[in-house]
Amino acid sequence: MMTKRKSLIAGAALVGAAALALTGCAGSSDPETTSDAGSGTGADRPIEIAVFNGWDEGIAASYLWQAVLEEQGYDVNLTYADVAPVYQGVSQGDFDVVLDTWLPVTHADYMDQYGDDLEDLGAWNDEAKLTIAVNEDASIDSLSDLAANADAFNNEIIGIEPGSGLMRITADDVVPGYGLDGMNLVESSTPAMLTELRAATDADQNIVVTLWRPHWAYDAFPIKDLEDPDGLLGGAESIHSVASTSFATDFPDVHQWISNFTMDSATLYSLENAMFNEYEGDDYLPVVQQWISENQEWVDSLTS
């Protein structure tokens, strides 16, 4: 069952326009349960979380923190946007935090460009990796064999959002490095890629997709990663939270909680599966709240 996503928002018009954010539900808990929200030490405004279009681990983490923070008495807005406008917006203080920065490779260019105006709050998952995946029963196991077998995969690599780090690295490094110039690298979106993956799986057809770990697709589909003998996709990465330079002053408690946040891949897969695989809608907050109730002890530790 394919998950619908929120409407995609892109372009520089987002930046500097936090008032146009796609807002989450207002917090309903007693604000005096947290010092930032109740004592006047926090900013008198919602917390603005930017979310990359199509990056499921970031969507899951963002909804998790929206639910957690609203329970603590904060108002939280989630804004979906493409990668470049997010970093520009965080650097200018239009967004407080983004929870899906991949380092040291995928988003390095953005950190180099905007890093002086950002604060890296540290990694919350250190098991991330960019991949090129195929159906599990495909006759090849390595990217070095893909060019010679391109016809078996309809001469296509199904990609995700243009401008993403994964697509840039695939186009600039993987395609020329493994002689894949004769294949069409299809720019689409993560939901569209997953739709193609599901259709190919249902039809028992070969397919090549750009993907990454951690991702719930590895639990949902019979797929395997192609080996990357030349290391062109990079090694293991970490997923970091990156904040505006004013975040610590505006929301000191939340700044500390997110700085201390860690989530292993098994826990992340559990949340992602609840949101994107077992649920067909796009109103994720009730799904996340239900997941929280089933994992309450772990969730409570996030703000202890």
Is the separation of the CB atoms in 276 and 158 below 8 Å?
no
Which residues belong to CATH 3.40.190.100 in the chain?
129-225
Find the angle CA(24)-CA(214)-CA(247) to the nearest 5 degrees: 40
198 burial via Cβ count (<10 Å: 0-12, 13-18, 19+): middle
Low-confidence ranges of the chain (pLDDT < 70): 1-35, 37-41
Supply the CATH classification number for the domain 129-225. Answer: 3.40.190.100
Q: Residue 88 pairs with which residues in a beta bridge?
A: none
| CATH 3.40.190.10, applies to 12-127+237-303 | yes
pLDDT of residue 14: 39
Q: 206 is written with which tokens?
A: 């070969």
Looking at residue 35, what is its pLDDT?
Answer: 55
> In the chain, which residues fall in CATH 3.40.190.10?
12-127+237-303
The pLDDT of residue 4 = 33
- Can you tell me the distance from the alpha carbon of 241 to that of 261, in angstroms, rounded to the nearest whole number? 9
Give residue 85's pLDDT. 96
CA distances from 274 to 35, 100, 177 (A): 31, 19, 37
Which helix (H) or strand (E) segment is 270 a member of? helix 265-272
